[in-house]
Amino acid sequence: MAIVVNKLIPEFEATATGGIKVSNTSHLGQVLVMYFYPKDNTPGCTTEAMQFRDRFKDFEKAGATVFGVSRDNMKSHEEFKTKLELPFELIADTEEKMCHMFGVVKNKIMYGKKVKGIERSTFLIGADGVLKAEWRGLKVPGHVDDVLKAVKTLKKA
C-alpha cells in the first residue's frame, strides 16, 4: 500500500539501531521525521546525516523524533552512527519493505548500467500517524532547514 499525504501511514514494523522497534503506532503522539538515503558512508548521505545531527536539538525542541532509513544492515548503521556521533537512530531496511511502502526505490543509471537505488526522500508524519509532508528526489543543501520549518509549522497548527 502506497503512502499518501493527509492519510494514515500503513502498517509497518522495523528495527533501528539501539534495538529500538519502530512501527506505524510506536510513536503516536510524537511527530516523526523519516529520511531515506541511499547508503551509509557515501558523500551525500554523510553530509545529510551530519546536517540532521547538527540540527537535532532544534528538531527535539520542536517535538520531532528523527530516523534515518536505508537498506544498509545494522552493523553498517551502528558504525556509521558511531563515526558521525549521530544522536538519532537509523533503521535497517535490508529487505526494502519500508523503501517500497514509501515508494523510494527507483531505477537509476550508474556508470551506464541500470541499477535499483534509493531516491533521497524525507517524510513528515504527524503525532496522529498521518503523513503531513513529503520531499522526494531532493538535494541535500538547505533540505534539513526546510524540514525543520515544516515541523515548527506543524507544531503551531
11 with 109: CB under 8 angstroms?
A: no
Q: Give the pLDDT mean for 93-109.
A: 90
Distance CA 53, CA 144 (A): 10
Q: Which of 33, 45, 91, 151 is catalytic?
A: 45
Question: Can you give the length of the chain in residues?
Answer: 157
User: CA 149 to CA 58: how far, in whole Å?
Assistant: 10
Q: Render pLDDT for 55-82 as a digit per residue (tens, 0 to 9).
A: 999 999 999 999 999 999 999 999 999 9
In the annotation, is 99 catalytic? no
What integer pLDDT is reported at residue 98 of this predicted model? 94
- Global pTM reads 0.93
Q: In whole angstroms, what is the distance from residue 5 CA to residue 130 CA?
A: 8
